[in-house]
Amino acid sequence: QVRLEQSGPDLKKPGASLRVSCKASGYTFTSYYIMWVRQAPGQGLEWVGGLSPHNDKPNYAQKFQGRVTMTTDTPTTTAYLVLKRVTSDDTAVYYCARVRGFYDTSAPDWGQGTQVTVSS
């Protein structure tokens, strides 16, 4: 079955970069988009961006442009999210999810979430 295994919780100081990984299995990695979503404490879901492993063309939310990088490594079927210059506002649970396509952006499979805390 489809499985998305994320890296463990992380603590970052303000100004540092956060990196979350998402190891995919159970499906053809290059056939589906991966999107990244975050959820701050007590808040809703916030789309960070998405990436097709087929062509590595990212689609970032405007809010994160210039600060975010999403990549994939096809041999290890792993997706990565890097967010630079973090502040306390970036404290959140970060999720990766498998997306059906560019138009049908529904996500039937999600990682378990990675808690990232930004604190000095």
Residues of the shown chain interacting with other proteins in the complex, contacts defined by CB under 8 A = 35, 37, 44-47, 50, 59, 61-63, 95, 97, 100, 103-108, 110-113
Of residues 9 and 108, the one with the C-beta less far from other proteins: 108
- Shortest Å, Cβ 73 to other proteins: 23
Assign 3-class secondary structure to the chain.
CCEEEECCCEEECCCCCEEEEEEEECCCHHHCEEEEEEECCCCCCEEEEEECCCCCCEEECHHHCCCEEEEEEHHHCEEEEEECCCCHHHCEEEEEEEECCCCCCCCCEECCCEEEEECC
Q: How far is the CB of 95 from other proteins (least distance, A)?
A: 6
Strand partners, 12: 118
Using the minimum distance from each CB to other proteins, give the nearer residue, 70 or 107: 107
Q: Which is nearer to other proteins, 27 or 47 (CB)?
A: 47
Report the relative pairing of strands 10-12 and 114-118 from DSSP bridges: parallel
**What is the smallest separation between the CB atom of 76 and other proteins, expressed in angstroms?**
22
Report the nearest approach of other proteins to the CB of residue 120 (Å): 26
* Cβ closest to other proteins, residue 57 vs residue 63: 63
